[in-house]
Structure 1
Amino acid sequence: MSQPVIVVVGAGPGVGASVARRYGREGYAAALVSRPAEALEALGKQLQAEGITTGWTPVDVTDQQGLTEAITRFGGFADGIDVLHFNPSAFRQKHPLDLSVDELLEDVALGVGGLLTAVQAARPFMKAGARVTATGSMAADQPWNEAASLGVQKAGLRNLVHSLDATLAPDGIRAVSLTVRGSLGRGTPFDADYVADALYAAAHQPDESWRSEVPFTGGPTTGA
């Protein structure tokens, strides 16, 4: 495939769709991964109708083998992966005294472990200049105790991205998480389209001033 390719893990109607569209405007083909098959197909067909080359595979992000196989197929078909974007997290409204260890680990397996699986699967198809991006959250620093596992996920996600960036940088591949410091909402400063613009800008930072964590405080991003 002559087009550059972005793989969006956790592609839903919000940030995932907006990221696919943002890169689609730049000529990228989008490969989508998410669990709900019908919703994923609807999104894929909608992006195709908008003129974006799009493929999709429904898979549970916590299914290591399934996710690895899906990303491997995308990478093999396209003969490369230029951007891997990781979007999913689990919202479970339980405070620490109600949250079980099994529930915490289940959520972390999605919101953090899924990134590890995705990057390991994508790495053989990524060349110098490729990028890994992730949707982070202020919950990493300011967790809401009533959804305790979310803060753990986002703190772990950011930490893992730092480690991934340090590991991949010698090969010319960089990783960055965008810390969204507000609540997502259409028509607000934290509209998914603004988040997608900020993620695109974060992925295109100059190497000499690269930051593996970038805050997003809302609104349009200059130069996006």
Structure 2
Amino acid sequence: MTLPLAIIAGVGPGVGAAVALRFAGQGYRVAMIARDSVRLTAIAAPMIAGGATVTTHPADLSDHGAVRSVIATILAEHGRPSVLIWNAALWDETAALDIKVDEFDRQLRLGLTGAVTAIQAAAPAMAAGDGGTILLTGGGLALAPQYGAAVPVLTAVKSALRGFVYASAPSFAARNLRLGTVTIAGQVASGTAFDPEAISDAYWTMHTRADAVVEHVFDGR
């Protein structure tokens, strides 16, 4: 029997790695995507040593062509995914009046529109099978954007992401796809209430819950 597949895009040493480990621990094959191939390999190594089935796929997630290509490669090599998680974003403290428009666009691609490209590449295969779960990592600044002055672009991206999920979830459900967001309402740090391992449980809960909840706000409790 082939194990289910989870694609996790935007894997770093924090939340992305913890979510990958969580799904691998539940018996999923995990395909991890990020730009830094060396870091991906380092994250995957102990998981593979522990018996998990993990593959790494370097790609620039702000590049729509690269996103389409890497999803196509994963589908061709590993088959239909049951889960797609988008965890890519950038913390950038450039003031709104100073940021270059091209850079704003790049961060929007990284945090949201690249996710849409990945979804459109993976969703037909997911819907043609048994359906599946698509989760986008949200942020607390989408709940209280007035506190996002230090990171205006990230605040805009996470606000748009939350709106996209709420507006689109019903149409996804009609195709047997759960679209949701895990909104992390605090600063991620190991050993705190916002430890990546604790946060990873929210992704598993969203994937496995029977009701049609669109958002899980992780507030450290």
TM-score (structure 2 length as normaliser):
0.93
How many percent of aligned residue pairs carry the same amino acid?
Answer: 30
Match of 2:130 in 1: 128
Match of 1:188 in 2: 192
Rounded to whole Å, the distance in 1 between the matches of 2:83 and 2:144 is: 29
Q: What per-residue deviation string (whole Å, max 9, x for no partner) do you get for residues 32-63 of structure 1?
A: 10001111121122221121100111000012
- Give, in angstroms, the shift of residue 91 of structure 1: 1.4
Candidates 167, 172, 175, aligned match of 2:179: 175
Secondary structure of 1:124 counterpart? helix
Rounded to whole Å, the distance in 2 between the matches of 1:188 and 1:111 is: 25
- Give, in angstroms, the shift of residue 28 of structure 1: 0.1
Gaps of 5+ in 1: 220-224
Rounded to whole Å, the distance in 1 between the matches of 2:43 and 2:13 is: 7
Matched, 1:198 2:171: no
Rounded to whole Å, the distance in 2 between the matches of 1:202 and 1:16 is: 16
AA aligned opposite 2:203: L
Secondary structure of 1:183 counterpart? coil
AA aligned opposite 2:135: T
- Give, in angstroms, the shift of residue 171 of structure 1: 1.6
Candidates 141, 144, 167, aligned match of 1:142: 144
Rounded to whole Å, the distance in 2 between the matches of 1:16 and 1:43 is: 10
Q: What per-residue deviation string (whole Å, max 9, x for no partner) do you get for residues 47-106 of structure 1?
A: 211211001110000121221121112122222100001101111112222223222222
AA aligned opposite 1:182: G
AA aligned opposite 2:108: V
Rounded to whole Å, the distance in 2 between the matches of 1:67 and 1:46 is: 26
Equivalent residue pairs, number: 217
Q: Is the 8 A contact 1:141 1:151 kept in 2?
A: no
Q: What per-residue deviation string (whole Å, max 9, x for no partner) do you get for residues 141-198 of structure 1?
A: 2232121001011111112222442222112111110111111110111100111001
When the two chains are superposed, the root-mean-square deviation of aligned CA atoms in Å is 1.5
Rounded to whole Å, the distance in 2 between the matches of 1:182 and 1:131 is: 24
Match of 1:222 in 2: none
Gaps of 5+ in 2: none
Matched, 1:40 2:40: yes
Rounded to whole Å, the distance in 2 between the matches of 1:16 and 1:4 is: 18
